[in-house]
Amino acid sequence: MTITLKVSENTKQEMQEFFEEYKREKTPPYAIFQADDADCVVTLYESGKAVFQGMSADISAQLWIEREKHLNPTKKLDVKNSEQTAKEEKKEVFIDPKIYHASSIGSDEVGTGDYFGPIVVTSAYVAKENIPWLEELGVKDSKKLTDDKIEELVPKIIKKIPYKSVILTNKEYNERYGDDMNMNKLKAILHNKVLLELTDEISPVDYVIVDEFAKPYTYFRYLQGASRVYRHITFLTKGEDKSLAVAAASLISRYIFLKEFEKLSQKLDLFLPKGASTAVDEMGIQIVQKYGPEKLKEIAKYNFKNTEKILSQSKKK
């Protein structure tokens, strides 16, 4: 069992004092300490993430859940349990056959969780007569396919499936991101753009589906002030599983992302890791040492927590 708890500074301080005598000599990267607590290993990270792993993880974690609630009563508790998450993932996804077998436009994005690489949003039109062909091809959620498989499938898909894509570079992302422009608002603007472009060419369709990343009222609030807004949208969670149009859009977005990511790696003459892990931090340090800290504003999502770690670690090396 693994339980993850986000703790505040005052709880972090108490944990450091409590586990002082139980700390291990070696700690993982970016960890303040790792300690043994009966049948549980406790790791506290600089970010405030406390991870409890082992048979008694629930018992060990409960103490600090209670302390966090007591010390910070107005703060929302952030706790995740691996067993609960696994159960939720095993729940069967309901697929509405009326939507699944319809001629639809689906829209999905990739790159929002990657420190390096752009954000890519794609809308794709799948006519109902092409559904069996996509199924035979093996189209499904891009997260369940390897990058190699995506690079094999997408060239076949785009020959038959109409689509529109938009690429937001990290330079553009950093210029636009601010107090009035968060990640979800940017995504809404980009989804609206590709949906308008595709529905201008292909209309009418049975459904226009967006893989839900915000509640509908929030999505449309983000688009207040836009000159044109496409409104006839069906929002679906786990949309890639429920609509092959969304799945196709997801695959095309991933394919474009991989090509742009490869170009960036070649330009920097470095092998860039995807995601936002400690490996990304290490690469960020190399980039700062080679090109200077300002380079991050051009090639990375500067507001990510990785930036603070990279700049801090760069000064020490």
**Beta pairing class for 234-236 and 207-211:** parallel
With respect to residue 154, please indicate whether it lies within any of the assigned structural domains: yes
- Report pLDDT for 75: 87
Q: What is the pLDDT of residue 162?
A: 98
Q: How far apart are CA 46 and CA 213, in angstroms?
A: 28
Q: Domain check: are 148 and 121 in the same one?
A: yes
Token representation of residue 247: 């799945």
Same-domain check for residues 142 and 242: yes
For residues 236 and 103, membership in a common domain is answered with yes
Can you say whether the dihedral through the CA atoms of 97, 101, 107, 111 is positive or negative?
Answer: positive
* Whether 113 and 248 share a structural domain: yes
Tens-place pLDDT, residues 72-97: 988 888 998 876 665 555 556 788 99
Q: Which two tokens stand for residue 102?
A: 């319809």
Same domain for 24 and 133?
A: no
List, in order, residues 6 or more apart from 275 with CB less than 8 Å away.
113, 114, 115
Q: Residue 112 has what pLDDT? A: 93
pTM above 0.85, yes or no: no
For 315, the 3-state DSSP assignment is: helix
What stretches in the chain show pLDDT beneath 70? 83-92, 140-143, 317
What is the C-alpha separation between 191 and 193, in angstroms, rounded? 5
Count of structural domains, the chain: 2
**pLDDT value of position 57:** 87
Task: Compute the distance between CA of residue 97 and CA of residue 112 in angstroms, rounded to an integer.
Answer: 30
Residue 120 φ then ψ, to 5°: -125, 125
Residue linked to tokens 């990058």: 147
Burial 262-277 (b: 16+ CB within 10 A, else e): eebbeebeeebbbebe
